[in-house]
Amino acid sequence: MSLNLAPTNSTTASLVLGDALAVALLEARNFKEKDFAKSHPTGTLGRKLTLSVNEVMSIEDEIPKVLVDQSIGDAIVEMNEKGLGMTLIVSLNNELLGIFTDGDLRRSIDSGLDLKKTKIDIAMSKTPKTIPRNTLAMDALEIMNISKITSLVVSDNDKISGVVHLHDILRNGLTI
């Protein structure tokens, strides 16, 4: 079928040629995804390759924490106040000792523990997953997905720097 529209053939050919030249130039200059991300940091690919957990994590007073000698009930109050579905368990020196999550709470209720009297160290998970602050948010999202968890502790040199929640990352437009 011919519409006698000669410019459509030449414009299509020009687009093909331009695209081929662009790809050849990118390959010749060894242009990688990270180079693209630097030029387009707010685009989807740019955010995937540049956004770190340091930029989206909860810090300081936003971090839910209770001392190891407090009760499960105290942990529940802290979880409700901070709204992250978990609380960190720390020593007097702010050393990370564990994590108490919504799942731990359900298991505590199911096993009949007295939430007001039982110390949190009985119900906490003693091996919380941690990542350094320079971890890419996309990598943190993959860790959460594989581990089937919603939060990661951000730590540097064994010191708590923050907490990154699944929603912190999703709010920034990243998905798996």
Q: Give the per-residue pLDDT at 87.
A: 98
Is the predicted pLDDT of residue 61 greater than 80, yes or no? yes
Check if the beta carbon of residue 121 is closer than 8 Å to that of residue 67: no
Q: Would strands 86-90 and 65-67 be described as parallel, antiparallel, or unpaired?
A: parallel
Whole-number pLDDT of residue 116: 96
Where do we find the tokens 């200059």?
A: 29
Would you list the DSSP string of 121-139? HHHSBS---EE-TTSBHHH
Q: What is the pTM of this model?
A: 0.78
Instruction: Show the domains of the chain with their CATH numbers.
Output: 13-50 (no CATH), 53-170 (3.10.580.10)
Kindly state the DSSP code that residue 115 receives in the 8-state scheme.
Answer: T
Specify the higher pLDDT residue, 10 or 135: 135
**Greater pLDDT, 82 or 40:** 82
